[in-house]
Structure 1
Amino acid sequence: MIICHCQTITDRDIHAAIDWMRASDPNTIITPGKIYHALGKRADCGGCMPLFLSTMRKNTNLKVPVELTGLRQAPMEGRRHEGRR
């Protein structure tokens, strides 16, 4: 199925790019920009982005690697940030 008419990107292209990126680097964070770059294309009008993202989410290789989950820190409550209050 064609996902992006402007750049002629199909769902198979997206899944193949995700699978290729995950196989080449298991710890990479996969983003739409990286998929466009892997396909040698760039976003044009952005009208396809909701469908593009839902297609990405269907791929089982899109998961964030276990080593990278939970990296968010607790909120900066009561702590000084960059020397400011």
Structure 2
Amino acid sequence: MIVCHCTQISDHEIKAAIDWMRASDPQTIITPGKIYHALGKRADCGGCMPLFLDTMRGCDNLGVPPILRGLRTRKEEAVHEGRRKGHRISQRSAAV
């Protein structure tokens, strides 16, 4: 199936590019731009992007590499620049 009519990219080419990128570097983050680059093409109008992304998501090799999983922290664990809890003026005046 043709996914991008402007550059004539098919779903098979997208899947092959993802497989090739994953085989060459298992820890790479795969983006649409990298796929276009791997195929030697450039995005034109962007109308294909929803279908392009759906095709990417349907690939088994697209997942986040294990070494990069869990890098995001939960809000409770986030460090706020080392500031005290009542660092805002509005919070100080309310506490006084």
* TM-score normalised to structure 1 length: 0.88
How many pairs are equivalent?
A: 81
Aligned 1:1-85 pairs, distance under 5 A: 1-73=1-73, 74-77=77-80, 79-80=82-83
- How far residue 79 of structure 1 moved from its aligned partner, in angstroms, is 3.0
Identity %: 72
Query: In 1, Cα distance between the equivalents of 2:78 and 2:5?
Result: 42
User: Larger relative contact order (C-alpha < 8 A, sep ≥ 6)?
Assistant: 1
* TM-score normalised to structure 2 length: 0.78
Q: Tell me which protein shows more helix as a share of its residues.
A: 2
- How far residue 62 of structure 1 moved from its aligned partner, in angstroms, is 0.1
* Uncovered stretches (5+) of structure 1, i.e. residues with no partner: none
The alignment yields a C-alpha RMSD, in angstroms, of 1.6
* 1:3 match: secondary structure: strand
* Uncovered stretches (5+) of structure 2, i.e. residues with no partner: 89-96
